[in-house]
Amino acid sequence: MKSIFMIGMAVALLSSSFYWNEPKIDENSGDVNYISSASIDGVDKPPRDESKPGDKDKRPPRREDENKPPRKEGEHKPPKEGDKENMPLENDGQPKYSIEQAVSDNAQLNTIAFSGLAYLTGTQGADSFLPPGKVADFFGFQYMRDVDIAGYGHNTTFLTKAAMNVLSILNEDQLESLKVLANEQFELYEDYGYGRLTIIDAFRKTLSGSELDVDAVSAYSGDLFEIDGQLSYHRAQVLGEIVRSFSDDQKAYLEAMAFDDSSTWPEIDEEGILDKRSMSHLEHVAVMTYASELFSWYKGSLEADSYFCPERHGTYFGGFYMKDYPAMNNPDYFISTSLTGNSGKEFLEILNDNQRQLIESIIEEQRNEMNRIVEIRGQVSRLLRDFMIKDDVDEAEVMALMEEYGQVEGRLSSLYAERFAAVSESLTEDQFDALYTLRNQYVFPDGDYLYSQPIESYNADGSSLLK
């Protein structure tokens, strides 16, 4: 299954507004495939329940159709001042990104509400879409994106520019270690990617009356996050070894590049930097990703590593698909930074008082769990950062923390799924029509996604996570 994972990485690098962006992938390769199965006039809206039990051991091939998403105009400039969703400001007027902001009541409520909108108007296939950068995300790249004062952090060229600067100064041994890492990690990524589809299926079944076994979801999620831990641990191990081997010239080069200002990064011609004949095109994409994370990790901080955006958790409800779809196969695209907050607020306004309370009450109920996530991410990030100064870090401790992280995240996601299902039960047709209009994104996948790679319907069966 190596080819499916690596293809998915290539698609994600081209399209995602997060970690995995490579805007120069051959558009004739067939790597990006989309099917439109809904119309704006509402005649072909997606069904409000889409349970798909089946044989989870059968992994489908990627789809070979070559329909591409339409190019969306007006999204190729940096976001305007003030177009940052629900953000407190620094003294210079720039938005302040921090863990405190990410877990704030306002940020959490609007993000959960946005997920509810995507979920109740979406499909199971849309739920499965996930930028690969949301896995093994302890290397500061998300924070570096969010604080880029040049305004290009959420542009699809951002990762490439960071990666090329790093690759241009690596020696042969350092570069080879990235190539080996790219080759080694695809199986774990596949295990995680396919595994999350089981949770998605269980959640979708709650829309037709099934009841979640929250303990089972929590345990299953814990197992998934152990995979995330393995990916993170071994990546930090390799990147740490490279950092410890940096020469004075390499350190001086990186010192001149500001972590929070991509305008200080030299423009590097990709030609001749990597010998693509020594690897597959898709392995080349993975090396680019690791190189960009090497920069953000080395130049960043514990704060940057442990940081997460509000949408990092509860990723099973289609919000990433609704937000990121226009960027797919769309070089130099800027993802809107206000869409989540604005649409989340409007979602809540469409609900009646009882429905709104079902969503708003989540904030207090999840507070302790969210605070524990902050603690765990700090502990894991601190352990992994030790690889920059030594070659032995307690793997068992990292794995135990990651399992607990997953268990907590599983309980949070279950809470969201239960509340979304409760809202769905009482939605009127007029409310559903209003939500569908608010969605304003009417292209739905014909199958599922392995991260951001379209695949045929996987037919995962989440019955074991139900009562």
Which segment of 251-260, 311-320, 331-340, 415-424 scores lowest on mean pLDDT?
331-340
* pLDDT reading at 188 higher than 70: yes
How far apart CA 293 and CA 289 sit, in angstroms, is 6
Would you call 119 helix, strand, or coil by DSSP?
Answer: helix
How far apart CA 437 and CA 259 sit, in angstroms, is 40
How far apart CA 119 and CA 424 sit, in angstroms, is 10
Full DSSP string of 315-372: --SSHHHHHHGGGTT-TT-B--SSHHHHHHHHHHHHS-HHHHHHHHTHHHHTHHHHHH
Would you call 58 helix, strand, or coil by DSSP?
Answer: coil
Are the C-beta atoms of 142 and 381 separated by less than 8 Å?
no
Name the DSSP class of 86.
T
Mean pLDDT of the chain: 82
Confidence at residue 68, expressed as pLDDT on a 0 to 100 scale: 36
How far apart CA 341 and CA 391 sit, in angstroms, is 42
Confidence at residue 326, expressed as pLDDT on a 0 to 100 scale: 73
> Which residue type is seen at 2?
K
* pLDDT reading at 59 higher than 50: no
Q: In the chain, what is the greatest distance between 2 CA atoms, to the nearest angstrom?
A: 66
Are the C-beta atoms of 121 and 434 separated by less than 8 Å?
no
**What band does 58 get if pLDDT is binned at 50, 70 and 90?**
very low
Q: Find the mean pLDDT for residues 72-100.
A: 49
Give the contacts of 426 (CB within 8 A, at least 6 positions apart): 352, 354, 355
pTM of the model: 0.82
**What band does 132 get if pLDDT is binned at 50, 70 and 90?**
confident
- What is the length of the chain? 467
Confidence at residue 36, expressed as pLDDT on a 0 to 100 scale: 33
Q: What is the pLDDT of residues 158-167, one digit of tens each?
A: 988 999 999 9
Are the C-beta atoms of 465 and 217 separated by less than 8 Å?
yes
| Domains in the chain: boundaries | 2-465
Q: Find the mean pLDDT for residues 355-366.
A: 98
Q: What is the pLDDT of residues 278-302, one digit of tens each?
A: 776 557 767 888 999 999 999 999 9
Are the C-beta atoms of 133 and 16 separated by less than 8 Å?
yes
Are the C-beta atoms of 182 and 283 separated by less than 8 Å?
yes
